[in-house]
Amino acid sequence: MFQNFRLAMAWVHTWFGLFLGFVLMVVFFFGSLSVFDREIDRWAIPESRFEPQPMPSFDEILKPVFEDMQPSRESVDQMRSRVDGPMPEHFDTPVRWGAYTTHRDPVLGLFAGYQVPNAHNPDELVWGTRTIDPRTGESLPDDQLKIGSRFFYPLHYSLNLHWKDLGYWIVGLAALIMLVALVTGVIMHRKLFRELFTFRPNKSNQRSILDLHNLTGVVALPFHFMFAFTGLVIFAGIYFPVTHTQLEPLHDLHEVMESQETGLPHERAGVAAPIASVDAMVAEAQRRWAARDMAGDVGFLALQHVGDANGYVSIYRAGTDRIALTGEGIHFNASTGEVLREDPPPSAVERIDEFLTGLHLQHFRHWLLRWLYVLGGLTGCACIATGFLFFVEKRKRQHAKRGQIGSRVVDALAVTTVTGMLIATLGILIANRLLPVSLPARGTWEQYCFWGIWGLAMVHAFWRTAPVARARLAPAWGEQCWAIAVLAVSAVVLNWITTGDHLLKTLSAGYWPVAGVDLFMLVSALVAVLTARRLQRRARPQPADSGELSGEAAHA
């Protein structure tokens, strides 16, 4: 099909990279923002702007909140079709309670799963969630959207497209293509390396973009590879559900063997039993971790078969001091408080898996490393964006001569996914500050604003890339850079007006979550202004050779 191996690989790199590049852009950018998802949450929910808190007392704070919880209306509605007869008004049999926190969380997220009477599948539960102030147990309003951890974060692995898990599959394919693009890129690069020292007349513009593409791809190559790969590994169960389909019987066989081995009851006993002091169990778990020379805080606490004689409490350690995502779980009988089981030390395979997962999910406490993650992610964005620009630069003159629109369409989509994505991101933050606090389903409206603004940016991108069809620079780039600058400064000012937390205040108080988000937006505004001005200068005098600095826009 192809003349030779290298041409085949170049074809794969160009076309798969182009089509999935638009998805990869979203994945890399929102993945980078997710490194600071909790901090973005603080910015978006002013009531939660206080210091991170440890897991509070279960007996005094958490238990009353759990007892007060009920499944969410959406969860109950979704379940309705899989139940014989009507749904109960009140769900009385909690199967699972859980609380999860990290070293960056001031507020605490709780979840509860309930048995549904007459459900077709008795193992299927309905779920409720709640966010509380762990100092008092007071609940935060349900419809406050955690923009960082509940919108940007899932956007980067599911595109927030949950119909038949379609978003996961698209991102998974994009991740595979990222690996493919890296390998094929290196194969192409062998020749390119030589070409860099050869004569390439009148192509300085195209070449500088290509240089930037190669540089960002190669400099962070191990980072890009690890992230795409570990991302796939984390969701291996979704992409290859082998053990829940073809090998389900084998999996069931293993589960029976496992519950015999662990001693943790798989089913309820059907006998009611009270819950002993969970605080005492937490103290015992911490004592055991300390004895292993791994003193630490509780990261995740869960109760299974709540209120039943077979109930047990699982306590997991927060992994702030290591890369590997380990739990060191210790399990207690819920009614007697006796230790049922300590998770055994991980096997070699588990150790690899925990390391790869932890490398991606970064539960560790290390701020410099966090910033390097952001930098690595943004380098990935720059690599993908310069790939688009190179595609356009290489073809636009030829397309203009032949009257083809290919490069114009690609340029418009590149504008949409580079500057347009930044505009949408700033848009949701501005909507978060402007929508009235009393608006019902406010979080849903914020999401509508995000998609609506992105849609508008796309329309603008297609409208203002018309000159590309005449081999000229698209004004859309510069215009959207100005929009980014205006929106970023507006977001910072709106934060000040609506919450009183201006930069001088947050900086002098050392409240970095909010100060950091504000500063990051101001720096983005500055970069956007510089880019827009250089694009303007470049567009004016030399109509013959335009578009040189569109590569800069990729950095914005």
Partner 1 sequence: MSTAIVSHAQRLSRIAAALLGGYVFAWGFIALGVAAAFAAGMPFHDAEHLFSLLAFLLYLVTFLWSFAARDSRRVWLVLAGGGALMAALASLIQHALV
Binding segment toward partner 1, per CB under 8 A, in 6-14, 423-431, 497-505, 546-554: 6-14
**Distance from C-alpha of 393 to C-alpha of 397, rounded to nearest angstrom:** 8
Under rule CB under 8 A, residue 179 binds partner 1: yes
Question: Could you tell me if residue 496 is left (phi over 0), alpha (psi between -120 and 50 degrees) or otherwise beta?
Answer: alpha
**Candidate residues 161, 233, 273, 493; the one interacting with partner 1 per rule CB under 8 A:** 233
β-strand pairing of 94-100 with 108-115: antiparallel
Estimate the share of the chain in helix, then strand, then coil, as percent rounded to the nearest 5: 60, 10, 30
Least separation in angstroms between CB 344 and partner 1: 10
Q: What is d(CA 498, CA 434) in angstroms, rounded to the nearest whole number?
A: 8
Residue 2 or 371: the one with the smaller Cβ distance to partner 1 is: 2
The answer to whether 528 touches 484, Cβ cutoff 8 Å, is yes
Q: Does residue 238 belong to the site contacting partner 1 (CB under 8 A)?
A: no
Our finding on whether 542 is near partner 1 (CB under 8 A) is: no
450 touching partner 1, by CB under 8 A: no
CA distance 505 to 516: 12
CA distance 546 to 556: 19
Residue 309 near partner 1 by CB under 8 A? no
Q: Is 25 in the site for partner 1 (CB under 8 A)?
A: no
Question: Considering only residues 507-536, where is the footprint of partner 1 by CB under 8 A?
Answer: none
Residues 116-175 touching partner 1, rule: CB under 8 A, are 173
In the complex, the smallest distance separating the C-beta of residue 159 from partner 1, rounded to whole angstroms, is 19
Closest CA to 135 of 52, 200, 198: 52
Pattern 252-281, binding to partner 1, x per CB under 8 A? -xx---x-----------------------
Q: At what angle do helices 475-499 and 512-539 cross, to 10 degrees?
A: 150
Q: Report how far apart, in Å, the C-alpha atoms of 508 and of each of 368, 505, 511, 515 are.
A: 21, 5, 8, 10
Q: Which of residues 352-371 bind partner 1 (CB under 8 A)?
A: 352-353, 356
Least distance to partner 1 from the beta carbon of 234, Å? Answer: 11
Binding segment (CB under 8 A) for partner 1, from list 193-201, 345-353, 425-433, 508-516:
345-353
247 near partner 1 (CB under 8 A):
yes
294 lines the binding site for partner 1 (CB under 8 A): no
Which residues neighbour 225 within 8 Å (Cβ) at sequence distance 6 or greater? 179, 182
Q: Where are the beta strands (DSSP E) in 90-207?
A: 94-100, 108-115, 125-132
Judged by the rule CB under 8 A, the positions of this chain that interact with partner 1 are 1-3, 5, 7-12, 14-15, 173, 176, 179-180, 183-184, 229, 232-233, 236-237, 240, 242-243, 246-247, 249-251, 253-254, 258, 347, 349-350, 352-353, 356
